[in-house]
């Protein structure tokens, strides 16, 4: 299936607490209100994530789903993965090794990516701690 | 025979690696008691007289310290000098043999045999070697050999005037260098491999419970597991796959603890999944991801005070604050579906997340979208 709609790749700030989460949500709200928004959050920089940050991710996802869109996560740092797993939210998102794969997944299914990084218990998708850096993760940049 | 012991904690640059939240692993509780307490207690049982602990670190709570040992604190630079002075003091006050041990690796050792070996060989210094072939920081020194002892302390137990006799210690060994080693030691102890015993009584086969631990009626604990003294596991929580909940911990409703160790005084929020981790001091060391993350959000992982009066005061205050809140919410109550069975509870999203609302959102938006809830409730309807 091909899609002509843009995929927005957004880099999440290093610290995602109440204040930063609110600021980040404000910056993505216009995108989320579009018809069928396609978003990729690049979590490679995230070093601190708390419940407000996770709540913001869930809010973005529910907002995107209201408009028939989706939010996918890319290159999560080990710190972000630990908190996503702790709060049981990791299983609610599609998680990819890098932003390119996440953006491409909107237009085609990537079974190899999923198979390669599927956890042994199949509950969440996890990555090796030394995951390579994303190649196209650019703030506010539309990826085809 | 007058045998005395000097137990050292820290003193080398690499000792900062074997810590969690700034506390050395040897001083952290493991199934009810720290390695330090277990080792000093075993020494006493096997005929060692006075024991002095010389540490670079403070005990992080009052129960971490065994009151039958003398505790001295010294900076890393001063530690070895103090150890030398302590050795001389013990020798002058009549000690014949000195057991010198730097805590780090755990070894299931019979101290009596080590002392016998030292006397049989009539050596000045005897050093123990673990089953892995690694030389340990565990030595027996004749108290009259002050120069040998001084040389040994000045070289941080790595250099000797004359080569020491080597005592091969068979049996279980754990390097206790990382949180993963602490976790492995706990699992091996629950599996009865390490020669240690959990502190408490065996409630049912494989499930050990410390004094005054509280398990709510609908909490589920699967063997092997350990719940420490004064710990509380609330309804719908699941403790499984060799998990260890140490003293004064609080595991809230619906949380699953799997193959993890929760260190003393930790408070784990409701509806969380803690797996393959060592949690404590507001930190989580994830053993699979090999990362240590600081969690500053009390709704996820918090820490109770180590002081009993402060904890009691905090509980009274939270109870007093909770009564009017409960009355108000019951007055405004709407019917809400809450999980009533264990599988539902552990599938539900963490209630910790619903508290973290962003201020500009209106009340109606504070809940997840109906589509999302429908997606998460599969299997319930």
What average pLDDT score do residues B86-112 get? 92
Looking at the DSSP bridge assignments, the partners of residue A96 are A74
Where is average pLDDT lowest: B83-87, B247-251, B368-372? B368-372
B67 in the same domain as B155? yes
Residue A139 has pLDDT above 50, yes or no: no
Is there a contact between B290 and A78 if contact means CB atoms under 8 Å apart? yes
Q: Which residue in B256, B261, B255 sits closest to B190, CA to CA?
A: B261
**Cβ(B153)–Cβ(B84) under 8 Å?**
yes
Chain B residues with beta carbon closer than 8 angstroms to that of A21: 358
Query: Quick check: is B109 in a domain?
Result: yes
Model confidence over A15-70: pLDDT tens digits?
Answer: 999 999 999 999 999 999 999 999 999 999 999 999 999 999 999 999 999 999 99
B234 in the same domain as B123? no
If you average pLDDT over every residue of chain A, what do you get? Answer: 80
Q: Which residues touch B218 (CB under 8 Å, ≥6 apart)?
A: B235, B236, B342
Query: Coil, strand, or helix at residue B55?
Result: strand
B170 in the same domain as B202? no
Query: Quick check: is B23 in a domain?
Result: yes
Q: Which residue has the higher pLDDT, B260 or A123?
A: B260
Residue A84 has pLDDT above 90, yes or no: yes
B145 in the same domain as B30? yes
Query: Quick check: is B335 in a domain?
Result: no
CATH code: domain of residue B233: 2.160.10.10
Model confidence over B111-150: pLDDT tens digits?
Answer: 999 999 999 998 899 999 998 899 999 999 999 999 999 9
- Model pLDDT, residue B197: 94
Query: Coil, strand, or helix at residue B145?
Result: coil
What average pLDDT score do residues B54-70 get? 72
Query: Quick check: is B336 in a domain?
Result: no
Residue with tokens 């990555």: A127
B157 in the same domain as B247? no
CA distance B63 to chain A (A): 30
Domain-ending residue, one of B257, B284, B303: B303
Query: Quick check: is B374 in a domain?
Result: no
Query: Quick check: is B62 in a domain?
Result: yes
Where is average pLDDT lowest: A74-88, A124-138, B20-34? A124-138
B106 in the same domain as B225? no
CA distance A87 to chain B (A): 5
B270 in the same domain as B217? yes
Q: Which residue in A6, A140, A37, A86 sits closest to B286, CA to CA?
A: A86
B207 in the same domain as B279? yes
B297 in the same domain as B165? no
Chain A residues with beta carbon closer than 8 angstroms to that of B361: 59
Name the interface residues of A facing B (CB cutoff 8 Å): 17-18, 21-22, 25, 48, 50-52, 54-56, 58-59, 61-63, 65-66, 78-79, 81-83, 85-89, 92, 126, 129
Model confidence over B267-314: pLDDT tens digits?
Answer: 999 999 999 999 999 999 999 988 999 998 989 999 988 777 888 888
Enumerate domains of chain A plus CATH numbers. 7-133 (3.30.750.24)
B210 in the same domain as B85? no
Query: Quick check: is B185 in a domain?
Result: no
Domain-ending residue, one of B303, B337, B355: B303
Angle at B177 between CA B174 and CA B182, to 5 degrees: 60
B140 in the same domain as B57? yes
Number of domains in chain B: 2
Facing residue for A22 by CB, picked from B275, B290, B358: B358
CA distance A133 to chain B (A): 17
Model confidence over B19-61: pLDDT tens digits?
Answer: 888 889 989 999 999 999 899 999 988 889 889 999 988 876 6
CATH code: domain of residue B76: 3.90.550.10
Query: Quick check: is B359 in a domain?
Result: no
Task: Provide the residue range defining the domain that includes B78.
Answer: 3-174
B152 in the same domain as B214? no
Domain-ending residue, one of B277, B303, B329: B303
Is there a contact between B357 and A55 if contact means CB atoms under 8 Å apart? yes
């Amino acid at each position: 299936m091909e899609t002509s709609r843009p995929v927005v790749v957004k880099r999440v700030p290093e610290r995602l607490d109440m204040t930063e989460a609110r600021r980040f949500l404000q910056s993505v709200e216009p995108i989320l209100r579009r018809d069928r928004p396609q978003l990729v959050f690049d979590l490679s920089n995230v070093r601190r994530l708390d419940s407000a940050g996770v709540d913001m991710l869930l809010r973005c996802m529910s907002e995107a789903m209201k408009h028939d869109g989706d939010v996918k996560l890319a290159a999560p740092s080990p710190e972000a993965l630990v908190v996503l797993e702790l709060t049981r939210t990791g299983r609610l998102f599609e998680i990819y090794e890098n932003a390119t794969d996440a953006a491409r997944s909107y237009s085609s299914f990537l079974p190899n990516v999923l198979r390669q990084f599927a956890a042994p218990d199949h509950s969440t998708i996890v990555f090796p701690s030394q995951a390579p850096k994303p190649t196209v993760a650019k703030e506010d940049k539309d990826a085809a | 025979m007058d045998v005395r012991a000097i137990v050292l904690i820290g003193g080398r640059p690499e000792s900062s690696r074997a810590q969690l939240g700034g506390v050395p692993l040897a001083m952290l509780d493991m199934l009810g008691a720290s390695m330090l307490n277990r080792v000093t207690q075993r020494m006493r049982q096997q005929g060692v007289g006075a024991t002095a602990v010389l540490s670079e670190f403070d005990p992080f709570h009052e129960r971490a310290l065994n009151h039958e040992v003398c505790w001295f604190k010294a900076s890393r630079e001063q530690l070895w000098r103090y150890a030398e002075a302590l050795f001389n003091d013990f020798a002058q006050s009549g000690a014949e043999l000195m057991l010198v041990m730097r805590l780090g690796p755990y070894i299931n050792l019979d101290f009596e045999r080590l002392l016998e070996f030292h006397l049989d060989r009539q050596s000045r210094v005897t050093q123990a070697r673990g089953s892995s072939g690694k030389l340990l920081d565990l030595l027996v020194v004749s108290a009259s050999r002050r120069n040998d002892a001084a040389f040994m302390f000045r070289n941080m137990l790595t250099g000797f005037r004359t080569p020491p006799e080597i005592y091969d210690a068979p049996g279980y060994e754990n390097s206790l260098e990382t949180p993963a080693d602490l976790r492995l030691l706990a699992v091996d102890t629950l599996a009865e491999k390490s020669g240690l015993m959990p502190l408490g009584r065996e409630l049912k086969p494989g499930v050990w419970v410390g004094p005054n631990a509280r398990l709510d009626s609908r909490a589920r604990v699967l063997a092997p597991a350990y719940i420490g003294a004064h710990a509380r596991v609330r309804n719908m929580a699941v403790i499984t796959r060799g998990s260890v909940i140490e003293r004064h911990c609080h595991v809230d409703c619906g949380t699953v603890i799997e193959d993890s160790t929760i260190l003393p005084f930790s408070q784990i929020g409701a509806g969380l999944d803690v797996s393959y981790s060592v949690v404590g001091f507001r930190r989580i060391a994830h053993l699979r991801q090999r990362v240590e993350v600081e969690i500053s959000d009390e709704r996820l992982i918090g820490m109770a005070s180590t002081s009993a009066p402060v904890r009691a005061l905090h509980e009274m205050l939270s109870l007093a604050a909770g009564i009017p809140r409960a009355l108000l919410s019951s007055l405004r109550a709407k019917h809400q579906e809450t999980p009533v069975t264990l599988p539902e509870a552990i599938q539900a999203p963490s209630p910790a997340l619903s508290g973290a609302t962003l201020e500009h959102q209106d009340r109606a938006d504070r809940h997840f979208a109906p589509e999302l809830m429908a997606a998460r409730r599969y299997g319930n309807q």
